[in-house]
Amino acid sequence: MLIYAGIDEAGYGPMLGPLCVACSVFAVHGHDPDVSGPCDLWKTLKKAVCRKRADKKRRIAIDDSKKIKLPNDGNVHPLRFLERGVLGFHMAPIETGAADCPQCDDHLFRRLRVGADPAAWYQSVTALPVAHTFDELRIHAARLRKTLHAEGVVCHDLACEAIDAATFNRQVQLMGTKSSVNFCAVLRHIDAIWTRWPAEHPRVIIDRQGGRTHYLDDLLRAWPDVKIQILAETDTLSRYRLERDGSLITLSFMVEAESAHLPVALASMIAKYVRELFMIRLNRYFQAIMPELKPTAGYTEDARRYLAQIEPLIAQLNIDRGVLIRSV
């Protein structure tokens, strides 16, 4: 059996909203990567999933979230395909049964182990789904469930860490760079996977961190008592095998990992969907006070426009800018 996991982030660059780092973990029964080579879940699950949004067979599109999310000003809800992928896999069998569709974003956050944010602008709740009916999602999930079962694949875990602006700013001040904040979240996901499957030699694929090719020193700082073997350090792939107390894990940091590995693409979609749900909450809070305010996705140029417009509210409500706005 192969434990096959992917980790990716969304919201690394914006001024507003959380940095979200997510993972997805699959068990592929009957697959030994040392014998059979790499696993292609797009191929294995082709009856239920594909890469492109437009599919005549109405399969679930799984790809880099940048390709899956629709424009905010289009005729179709921008989260339609993100939601179908994230909730479709969430509702598919998890070990012994099928999880029903979460009724609201708060339910989904708890299931993904997303921590609560105390900021006032994140306290509202959004009903789910936002871009489908329950019946539509149940149909997609049932098809996926059937395909997963037929192919001996189990979606064991979906998880996301959302780092709010206040926490992000504190961690940047402590660690020195936002890349370190992101990487530490990645390490926490890796450690959780390794702790849960110590006897299964998990293979974890991570989207390359900021163009870096060398990770050995950081891995040694995270796990000082672990033996680490460098398997590859090239322009496109950095791979390491770690061992502790006889337990193995292989980590691969890859350029465009979300294009080569479905678990990474799904992690990218989870991170993006969670971030978008947080941004719905943030925009709802400020628009309730200032109805004419145009919503923002939180990225730098438009975030500056948004902040300029809500400046009177920041002063009126005595909002700590370090809790709302990221420092870098």
**Tens digit of pLDDT for each residue in 155-189?**
999 999 999 999 999 999 999 999 999 999 999 99
Question: What are 52-105's pLDDT values in tens digits?
Answer: 998 889 999 999 999 999 998 888 899 999 999 999 999 986 444 455 789 999
What value does the mean pLDDT of the chain take? 94
Residues contacting 303, CB < 8 A, separation 6+? 14, 15, 16, 296, 325
For 277-288, the pLDDT digits (tens) are 999 999 999 999
In 205-327, alpha helices (H): 216-222, 257-260, 262-289, 300-316, 321-324
Q: Which is it for the CA torsion 79, 81, 84, 90, positive or negative?
A: negative
- How high is the pLDDT of residue 93? 60
> Once rounded to an integer, what is the mean pLDDT over residues 97-124?
88
Going 74 to 79 to 85 to 91, the CA torsion angle's sign is negative
Residue 99 is predicted with a pLDDT of 55
Cβ-based neighbour number of residue 175 at 10 Å:
13
In tens, the pLDDT along 197-219 reads 999 999 999 999 877 899 999 99
User: The tokens of 303 are what?
Assistant: 């975030």
pLDDT of residue 165: 97
How many whole angstroms from its chain centre is CA 165?
17
Q: Quick check: 315 pLDDT over 90?
A: yes
Q: What is the pLDDT of residue 36?
A: 75
Residue of 300, 295, 202, 288 whose CA lies nearest to 251:
202
Q: Which pLDDT belongs to residue 73?
A: 83
The percent of residues in the chain predicted with pLDDT above 70, rounded, is 98
Question: How many CB atoms are closer than 10 A to CB 43?
Answer: 10
One-letter-per-residue 3-state SS of 40-65: CHHHHCCCCEECCCCCCCCCEECCCH
25-29, 132-136, 240-244: least confident range = 132-136
How far apart are the C-alpha atoms of 143 and 160, rounded to whole Å?
A: 25
pLDDT for res 140: 92
Two structure tokens written together for 232: 């590859």
For the chain, which residues make up each domain, given as ranges? 2-174+259-324
Whether the per-residue pLDDT at 121 is higher than 80: the answer is yes
pLDDT at 96 (0 to 100)? 42
User: What CA–CA distances, in Å, run from 122 to 24, 116, 150?
Assistant: 25, 9, 41
Residues whose CB falls within 8 Å of the CB of residue 25, separated by 6 or more in sequence, listed in order: 3, 4, 5, 155, 156, 157, 158, 193, 202, 263
Residue-wise pLDDT for 19-63, tens only, equals 999 999 999 998 888 777 789 999 999 999 999 998 889 999 999
Numbers of helices and strands, H then E, in the chain: 13, 11
Residue owning tokens 């009903």: 127
**Comparing 106 with 98, which gets the higher pLDDT?**
106
CATH T-level fold of 2-174+259-324: Nucleotidyltransferase; domain 5 (3.30.420)
What is the Cβ-side half-sphere exposure of residue 112, based on CA atoms within 13 angstroms? 33
